[in-house]
Structure 1
Amino acid sequence: MPYKVNPDSFGFLVTDVARLIRAEMDRRIGEAGLGLTPSEGRTLSHAARAGTVRQNVLAERMGVEAMTLSSSLDRLEAQGLIERQPDPDDRRAKLVHVTEAGSAMLERMAPISLALRADASQGIVAKDWDRLLDMLKTVRASLTAAKSASSAKESGNS
């Protein structure tokens, strides 16, 4: 008898929710007339979240290839929403940071995010929503710790 996969397991649920949120946010950003592609909106949001960070680190945090990120950053830089500067610790690397214009764009995007969160949390009381967020933060921290432990173990074996 073939193994039956649970379509409502943790991994599938998290993946489905992330995919649905991304698609809906992309649609709303595209319809908002902000002059950003959905990819640019995501990149700008991730850059703001990360703070001033190397371009390759930002790509890793976003889960995209460096070349994919580079083209979005080129367009954001052309619009004055981000700046890239040489990393003083490694001139070959570039540091990305959000400009004042980028912060203003994020403020324009904020109501879209707020409306999406309101739609996503329909039927969930605020206390339960807060608890869900707390639990997801715990899962994130646990997985981050597991990744760090695995990386430390691998570098110790080298």
Structure 2
Amino acid sequence: MIPAVDLETPAIKPCAAVDDPFTSDFTWLLHRAERVLTQNFDEACRNVGLKDMRDTLVLAVAGDGETRTQIEIAQTLGLDKTTLGAIIDRLESQGYIVRSTDPSNRRIRIPTTTEHGQAILARALVARDEVVAGTLSSFTGDDLHVLRTLLWRLATASS
């Protein structure tokens, strides 16, 4: 016998883990928020000639005036060293980064953002600011202050 189908009940029922701001899984909410902002930022990066947000972050860290090795940049950004190596290879081939060797250890490479890299970084940061402002346009200044403060505390918390 085939069971009767209830046509009045929606096929997809709400799920407390993802369908309500106060009962949704917290890590899922953060993941979704990150995805929205990252997708918008990645598109802005592509529009100025970079691959994605990571290119912008690498250019920013490599060009901030501090001398950092590739390993230190990877640690700063939370990137795998192999992933960072591929990003730096690409940025170097585009003329946005140059690598020099550490005078005390020739095996250690120190990436630095070039003048051309600083120019594309500046364009990417303007594009980022525009997409973030658009994405968060419904937030008040106080909302943004609280959000940044809480996210900073979470991001820098010790595990």
TM-score over 0.5 for the alignment? yes
Larger Rg: 2
Deviation at 1:135, TM superposition (A): 1.7
Which residue, 70, 74, 92 being the options, matches 2:85? 70
Give unpaired runs (5+ residues) of structure 2: 1-14, 19-23
1:20, 1:59 → 2: CA distance?
24
Which fold has the larger relative contact order, with Cα–Cα distance below 8 Å and residues 6 or more apart in sequence? 2
Q: Quote the residue 1:22 is aligned against.
A: 38
Residue 135 of structure 1 is aligned with which of 136, 145, 150? 150
Give the Cα–Cα distance (whole angstroms) in 1 for the partners of residues 138 and 115 of structure 2.
Answer: 37
Please report how far the alpha carbon of residue 36 of structure 1 lies from its aligned counterpart in structure 2 after TM superposition: 2.3
1:92 maps to 107
- For 1:12, the equivalent position in structure 2 comes to 28
CA distance in 1, matches of 2:78, 2:99: 20
8 Å contact 1:86–1:94 — kept in the other structure? yes
Aligned residue for 2:29, secondary structure, equals helix
**Retained in 1: the 8 A contact 2:101–2:108?**
yes
Structure 2 residue aligned with 1:35 = 49
What displacement does 1:69 show? 1.8
State, as a whole percentage, how many aligned pairs show the same letter: 26
Question: Structure 1: 5+ residue runs without aligned partners?
Answer: 148-158
Higher helix share: 1
Q: CA RMSD in A?
A: 2.5
Distance 1:59 1:98 in 2: 15
